[in-house]
A and B are shown apart, each in its own frame.
Chain A
Amino acid sequence: MSDTILNVEHLNKNFGKKQVLKDVSFSVQTGHIVGLVGPNGAGKSTIMKAVLGLFNYASGTITIDGEPVSPTSHKAMDKVGALIEYPGIYPFLTGYQHLELFSKDSTSKDQIMDIVDKMKMDSYINRKAKTYSLGMKQKLGIALALVDRPKLVILDEPMNGLDPQANKDLRTIILDLAKQGTTLLISSHILSELEKLIDDLVVIDKGQIVYTKSMAELESGSKKLLVLKTSDDAKAKEILAQNNYQLDNGDKFAIVENDQTKMADVIKLLSDNGIDIDDVQHVHSDLETSLLNLLKNDKVKES
């Protein structure tokens, strides 16, 4: 029971006549990093706003730590830190004043400086926010979500506008938090951004959940390919098929590798048959491609 910190069931949300979320259900395990991935406009921010009790929804239930969440039931929000869409920043306050303003009374100055340190914001934390660049504002927004050390952290496209170094710092922070038992729900429209970070993946398209799985399952499901370039591709394909090699049905000429596939065997087989090999490459079909295939194949049913 206590394993699940966030539970969303049969959530439906309309904006006017437009149905933006259709029967969305998923749950988040305590201590996991969960990626919410989908194209722009899929409904990622909308899900997160609903989870934060920011608006009414047509039907469904949302619970955090067993407590229901809605605009009129906010008690669970005490355990949540979030950055949604873009950070809200008062230009007339300094970064530090933002952290002071929004952090709980129980959050000490040391805790504030700790997050400033980790986010490497020291050099400008006492400057007025109107002088901040986009990336600095984004970092401040993330710091605001983390400063109270909440149990559940919700970050909506947090890598937006961060330079590679800041991106790396953020990953380190996220992994550290998860190690200490913090649960994170992170959205992105680019899976590769989250690939190395998340334990579980929730894929959403046009307001519907199309896929939920652990990363381990997804990775084991992706295939390894041996991509070939030969003097006679047509003949080579024929020969390989006859020898029980599984050919990939993508646009490139490739063999799907399994444990028994040895490159040397393939090369020998082909050269024995008088085919010259110009190039051989191992390709790990990446998650991005599997995701795109998923979104393509799993044609979201229009209701």
Chain B
Amino acid sequence: MITLVKQETFKLLHKKSTYAVSATLLIIMTVFGVLTRNYPKYWGDPKGLFVTMFTGINWIVLFMIAACSSIIAMEFQYGTIKELLYRKYYRGQILVSKWITMLLYSIYFYVLAFVWSMLLKVVLFNNKFQLSDTYQPGHSVINSMWLGIVGSFLTVWLVLSLVLLLANIFKSTAAAISIGIIGYFALSIISNIMFVLMQKWDWLKWNPLNMMNLPSQLVSSSFHKMTLLSTPEMVVGSLVYTAIFMAISYVIFKRRSV
């Protein structure tokens, strides 16, 4: 299994896009940092920006959606799936090695964005706010950031498990990427309707889109009045949905003819 993860990492590290994406993330974060520092009137509160890792937290979702769909779909696209599968390893191992690689990649992104956020904070906003300042009632800036990262990590993986599944079904990056992105960002558009419907049909609160509200709920304690779920319920819900999508992927991948 370690060999397989190494092989997946080898491929990832030899793609130019891997480096381009990391560089892009850092540049975008820096641009948002600089703009907020120089034009605070238009760009708002630097604390809020810092808590979202200078918007990095959203870009990571995009980049991970692309990476996850590509790590599965590229094997079908390049015809390399046969080479992967006929070896002494089992299909399940091949798929799991890809998941592990993506898990490591997502952790890498969060660490990178976090470290860069700290740097930007020191360089651009050293005197503007302290990490211990209050951000939300009961939560300091750094605390809010941590909760945001943890919540985002769980919900991102809920989306990614769906993306991995779709890439597996459609064998194409395009379909998986579009649905993944729409799924993630659809929330802000339809959440109001969803909350209304949930008041009417209580069981709707268990739908996967509602789980995506976890990051907001972690920071703002009153949010559970909208989601109708307690925070532990949401954490478990996210994990269960992720597990379900992964399990379906696993079964499909094992049965697929190549």
List A residues at the B interface (Cβ < 8 Å). Answer: 15, 49, 52-55, 71-72, 74-78, 80, 82, 84-93, 97, 100-102, 105, 144
Given A74-B88, A101-B7, A102-B83; A55-B257 close (CB under 8 Å): yes
B contact residues around A100 at 8 Å (CB) = 10
Given A49-B258, A55-B258, A92-B16; A74-B89 close (CB under 8 Å): yes
Q: Shortest beta-carbon distance, A154 to chain B, in Å? A: 9
Cβ contacts A to B, 5 pairs, < 8 Å: A52-B86, A55-B258, A76-B88, A77-B88, A88-B78
List B residues at the A interface (Cβ < 8 Å). Answer: 3, 7, 10-11, 14-16, 74-75, 78-83, 85-91, 254, 257-258
CB-based contact B86/A54 at 8 Å: yes
A84: nearest residue on chain B (CB-CB)? B82
Please measure, in the bound complex, the distance between the C-alpha atom of A92 and the C-alpha atom of B80, giving whole angstroms. 13
With A54-B86, A74-B89 known, 8 other A-B pairs at CB within 8 A are A49-B82, A54-B258, A76-B88, A85-B79, A88-B81, A92-B11, A100-B10, A102-B83
A-B pair count, CB < 8 Å, reads: 65
Please measure, in the bound complex, the distance between the C-alpha atom of A86 and the C-alpha atom of B258, giving whole angstroms. 13
B82: nearest residue on chain A (CB-CB)? A84
Query: Which DSSP category, helix, strand, loop or mixed, fits chain A's interface?
Result: loop
A92: nearest residue on chain B (CB-CB)? B15
CB-based contact A97/B257 at 8 Å: no
B79: nearest residue on chain A (CB-CB)? A88
A144: nearest residue on chain B (CB-CB)? B83
CB-based contact B91/A71 at 8 Å: yes
Please measure, in the bound complex, the distance between the C-alpha atom of A144 and the C-alpha atom of B82, giving whole angstroms. 12
Q: Shortest beta-carbon distance, B132 to chain A, in Å? A: 45
Of the candidates A49, A52, A80, A89, the one whose C-beta lies within 8 Å of that of B80 is: A89
Please measure, in the bound complex, the distance between the C-alpha atom of A72 and the C-alpha atom of B254, giving whole angstroms. 9
B81: nearest residue on chain A (CB-CB)? A88
CB-based contact B82/A75 at 8 Å: no
Please measure, in the bound complex, the distance between the C-alpha atom of A90 and the C-alpha atom of B81, giving whole angstroms. 11
